[in-house]
Amino acid sequence: MVDIRTDNDEIMTLTEVARHLKVSEKTVLRMVQSGEFPGVKVSNQWRFVRTAMESWLAARMRADQEPSGAPAFVSPAPNVPLMRLVSNRRIVLDIEPGEKVDVLRQLVAPLHGDGLVEDVHGYVDRLLAREDLVSTAVGHGLAIPHLRNPGEIAFASPTIVIGICKSGTDFRSLDGKKTSVFAMPCAGTEAMHLHLLAKISLVFKNTQTLKRLTEAPTVKAIMEILAVTDHELGNQWH
């Protein structure tokens, strides 16, 4: 596979991120494990996308300059429970394997059906532009397709589209394996986008959770798995 990453979208290690942020590796690990900082595990090693890290840092700097005096390393948005971000209508249980464009169209279809996205082709083109930089299939059967520039689509409320491809499909994963679970964050602001990325990284980092989602027979079963996972992470309904 041809490496089409740019300098701004390279995959970084824990050590490289800590050096870039000028903090200890323990500090980065603590932020990742709490869901505050976007990162994923590939073969038991943490990996980070440079653009996501720099967007996170820029958001933290802006937050630090607010009159409230909020510290730089704070959550970019309220810790919204997962079950408020996912709905039955935005779970696609039968994603058909195929080219990236075909899979992405299936993921965008619920947004179009709910009137959140009018131009399906335009939205898919934006997602493909992000994929052209580096695949959002992060490994272990999970992909997190998203826009390169969050906020270019004015979502009134954040949401996550979940797609399940039981047979798996080639989404050019970083570990070379087929992708079965898709979690597509949709947010109207950069801060909320980063929050959704962190939420997805935290919820779907467990390979057993991914396996259960792939094997779930119904949308209801998927919602139940997500509800249990959300509760285990300490999120409460409010």
Q: Is 47 helix (H, G, I), strand (E, B) or coil?
A: strand
Helix (H, G, I), strand (E, B) or coil at 186: strand
Q: What is the mean pLDDT of residues 175-202?
A: 87
Per-residue pLDDT averaged across 84-96, rounded? 93
Question: Which tokens sit at 72?
Answer: 């730089």
Residue 223: pLDDT above 90? yes
Percentage of the chain modeled with pLDDT above 70: 80
CA 36-42-46 angle, 5° bins: 40
φ, ψ for residue 42, nearest 5 deg: -125, 115
- Given a cut of 80, is residue 125 above it in pLDDT? yes
CA dihedral 215, 216, 222, 224 (to 10 degrees): -110
- Fold type of domain 7-232: Mannitol-specific EII; Chain A (3.40.930)
Contact 194, 52 (CB under 8 A): yes
Least confident residue range of 61-70, 144-153, 218-227: 61-70
**Helices H / strands E in the chain, number of each:** 8, 8
pLDDT over 80 (residue 189): yes
The domain limits of the chain are 7-232
pLDDT above 70: residue 234: no
Q: Is the pLDDT of residue 5 over 60?
A: no
3-state secondary structure (DSSP) of residue 137: strand
